[in-house]
Chains A and B, each alone.
Chain A
Amino acid sequence: MKSLFRGALLGAGLSLAAVAGIAQEYPSKQVNYIIPFNAGGESDIAARLQQPVFERLTGQNMVIQYMAGAGGAQAWSQLNGMEADGYTVMGTNLPHIILQPMAQDVGYTTDDISNVYFFQYTPDALLVPADSQFQTLEDFVTYATENPGAVTVAGSATNSANHVATVRLNELAGINTTYIPFSGTAPTMTALLGNQVQAAFSYTTAAIQQGDAVRVLAVAADERVPSFPDVPTFGEAGYDMVGGAYRGVGVPSATPEEVRTQISDALDAVNKDPEFIQKMEDGGFVVIDVPYSEVPSFMDERRAEYENVAPLMGIESTN
């Protein structure tokens, strides 16, 4: 009966937050938001856009902290040891939390991470320098078909979203390009702009930063991205490829179910804020709403996709 009562309250959604003095009210104090990367990256920027909206809607502070290391694994492997009261939440990233444990023992498994909400993704974007001979995706694929292995594609790190994208495009287009991993988005873009490589797989967010200096050949989104209305999706060109880096929020595994739902509701309200959506889209992010109830099916879908591509990348499942 009690849980039914709670459920009803939650059903009322965020209007609840306005009702003072109810025990289930969330958040009633400052929320610590741990980003498992260094400041300045996409995860940080997105969190900083969430922060003011969250504070405005809930009246509580959101404090962003950084716990970088091992591509996020350092923080994720410690997540379940943290206080499970809903006031410590951590950014989670796909494909990281699926591919990392698949490739090696990183101190956590994908199932150890309790995701409560996925709020955005940055679609993969195939970029070439502005003066490149490749005007379209078709030019790129044709050239790569004629010169197997000769086209160099830069990206950030191995077993990363950029790496997945390169391997998937190779597979779907039946081409063979050489993936060159760099230590982050900044060196990747430097190599691209300096014509050290012929193309780069990065995100729409990076493409916006470089402006006219790069040409986006295609984006891996369901539909065209608002900030690149003239750039086709891979789907339009006949390659069934939608993906990128997905970002969500996870909690320690001991966090009670109702608190998880409350966090999900609070983040959902942030995601519906028009000003937030506008800023995110200006930056090249694509806002998606995956609330707690839909997280399992979303994860299953992503997991199946990465499991297909993993053997092509040389990852042998350790399980």
Chain B
Amino acid sequence: MDKLIYLGEALTLTNLMLAFCGVAAGIVIGALPGLSATMAVAVLVPFTFAMDPASGLIVLGAIYNGAIYGGSYSAILVNTPGTPSAIATTFDGFPMARRGDGALAVSLATLASVVGGLVGALMLMFLAPPLAQVALAFGPPEYFWLAVFGLTLISALSVGNLLKGMIGACLGLILSMVGVAVIGADVRFTMGSQTLIGGIDIVAGLIGLYCIPVLIDLVATRDPHLKVATNSGFRLAESLAIASRQKFNMVRSAVIGTVVGILPGAGGSVASLVSYAEARRASKTPENFGKGEPGGIIATEAANNATVGGGFIPTLVLGIPGTPPDAVILGALFVQGIKTGPGLFSEQGGIVYTFIFGLLIGTILMLPVGLMVGRYAYKSIIAIPKAALVPTIAFMTVVGSFAIHNNLHDTAVMLALGIVGWVLNRAGYAPSPIVLGLVLGQIAEQGFVQSYLIGNAQGNVLGMFFGRPISLAIVAFAVIALFYPIVSGAISKRRISPTNATVESRSAK
């Protein structure tokens, strides 16, 4: 309870104002694809030098939280994840918006983000030192298997079309290899072009593969972008009802998000994909996932906002940034003269706990700010005529892809992938397997090669991959996620009509 005195310090009027502005600015930045949480934090850092350390940290935490949450807007309303963390939000968010449930989807995303953010921040406050050990228990083999687990989602995302899903994933994996390899420094698939030496940026890929096909279709068809809802408003009561039915999903996803957020190098995209896979597996109606299932949005949004708190665990306990924005914040702390590292919690407890309370306050503020901004965003997306909407979004894709690295190379990559994505879409290849391959390919590859190198040095390559308990647990989850739909389908079929099953098996002979 001694921590509560810091709540008072965090709750000053200035800090509340800062957190409010930070959340609002973060939401807008996060909603614009290409403008990332890292960038938002980096731009803001110089301004925080004029504030006292705790206020500076509060505004940085608020903008970070807001940006991760804001990514869900564009995912739901334009089928383009504003940040990589919101990739899985497009799976169900956009179908919901299409059928006129956009307001409901935004409200659900808001509720889930707030709960996820709170769970992450509370775990940071109470369990940070023991949880930091999780980051250390994860070695290269665990990263490899975690990425493989994420890839198993492809089987779930391409029900009835597994072959095309696999081909898409392979294309994504090849795209993830473009450029100079981290391990070995081999130059791969650049076709002699210097544009591609840096590889294909994930955000450029996201904007291209998700947004450009939507734009082309908007121009090519007469249909309105989103079906206009008959009942307007927040649909908050309905969201609350759904959320309370899904409370177990929400908390499980938030815990997964926190734990994955702790792992440096995994991040919000992996967290939301893994919890999406788990939500689908545990759901009674897995067949609805990908077609506008509210549980899908809840899982991804709870998970990605939980990574904010989770990412701060190694940052503050070990001095190792959990996510790229954490690296910027760590640098800011250093420039301010605060010594980070293992001693931070004990030596600078005042600042740390004021910051965590600030993070909690910022998360709660996301509820009103988010509902308001979200409603406005939804309304304007429906209200703007297509003739104005298309050029606006097209303009944003160019600005966003340029802003990633202040570089036109990424814009070129975005446009090229957009056209390829549209053609593939027409041929029945969904963008998500490609994106999954692109996002997870690097993690899988690095984990695999590192595990192999270490295993080789120890003379035990097989033991490296299959002899570690955490690895085996992840493998088990991956296998369950992969085969559960088939197995559970077979079981329920047999239960319903054992005779039919026998007939089937007989006729199969």
A associates with B:
yes
- Name A's B-contacting residues (CB within 8 A): 38-41, 44-45, 48-49, 51-52, 65-71, 73-74, 77-78, 103-107, 149-152, 157-159, 178, 180-184, 186-187, 189-191, 193-197, 208-213, 279, 282-283
User: B458 at interface (Cβ–Cβ under 8 A)?
Assistant: yes
Judging by beta carbons under 8 Å apart, are B319 and A211 in contact? yes
The listed residue (B138, B330, B342) touching A210 by CB distance below 8 A is: B342
User: B324 at interface (Cβ–Cβ under 8 A)?
Assistant: yes
Judging by beta carbons under 8 Å apart, are A40 and B139 in contact? no
Q: What is the bound-complex CA distance between A152 and B459, given in angstroms? A: 12
> How close is A48's CB to chain B, nearest CB, in angstroms?
5
Q: What 9 A-B pairs have minimum CB-CB distances, sorted nearest first?
A: A40-B327, A194-B136, A70-B198, A69-B198, A107-B194, A196-B139, A39-B42, A158-B185, A211-B341
| Interface residue ranges of B188-214 to A (CB < 8 Å) | 194, 197-199, 201
User: B473 at interface (Cβ–Cβ under 8 A)?
Assistant: no
| Interface residue ranges of B318-349 to A (CB < 8 Å) | 318-321, 324, 326-331, 334-335, 337, 340-343
Chain A hits for B329, CB < 8 A: 40
Q: What is the bound-complex CA distance between A283 and B334, given in angstroms? A: 8
Select from chain A the residue with minimum beta-carbon distance to B342: A211
Judging by beta carbons under 8 Å apart, are B180 and A197 in contact? no
Select from chain B the residue with minimum beta-carbon distance to A208: B341
Instruction: Compute the total of residue contacts between A and B using a CB distance below 8 Å.
Output: 170
Judging by beta carbons under 8 Å apart, are A194 and B335 in contact? no
Q: Contacts A39-B331, A73-B198, A283-B334: A66 and B139 contacting too (C-beta < 8 A)?
A: no
Q: What is the bound-complex CA distance between A61 and B319, given in angstroms? A: 31
Judging by beta carbons under 8 Å apart, are B335 and A45 in contact? yes
Judging by beta carbons under 8 Å apart, are A68 and B405 in contact? yes
Q: What is the bound-complex CA distance between A38 and B334, given in angstroms? A: 16
User: B38 at interface (Cβ–Cβ under 8 A)?
Assistant: yes
Q: What is the bound-complex CA distance between A283 and B337, given in angstroms? A: 9
User: B409 at interface (Cβ–Cβ under 8 A)?
Assistant: yes
| Interface residue ranges of B132-148 to A (CB < 8 Å) | 135-140
What bracket does the count of chain B residues touching chain A fall in?
35 or more
- Name B's A-contacting residues (CB within 8 A): 38-39, 41-42, 45-46, 49, 135-140, 179-185, 187, 194, 197-199, 201, 264-265, 314, 318-321, 324, 326-331, 334-335, 337, 340-343, 405-407, 409, 442, 446, 450, 453-454, 456-459
Q: Contacts A69-B407, A106-B197, A211-B343: A190 and B136 contacting too (C-beta < 8 A)?
A: yes
Q: What is the bound-complex CA distance between A69 and B340, given in angstroms? A: 27
Q: What is the bound-complex CA distance between A38 and B42, given in angstroms? A: 9
Q: Contacts A106-B194, A180-B454, A210-B342: A65 and B406 contacting too (C-beta < 8 A)?
A: yes
Q: What is the bound-complex CA distance between A45 and B49, given in angstroms? A: 14
Q: What is the bound-complex CA distance between A49 and B339, given in angstroms? A: 15
The listed residue (A103, A189, A195) touching B320 by CB distance below 8 A is: A189
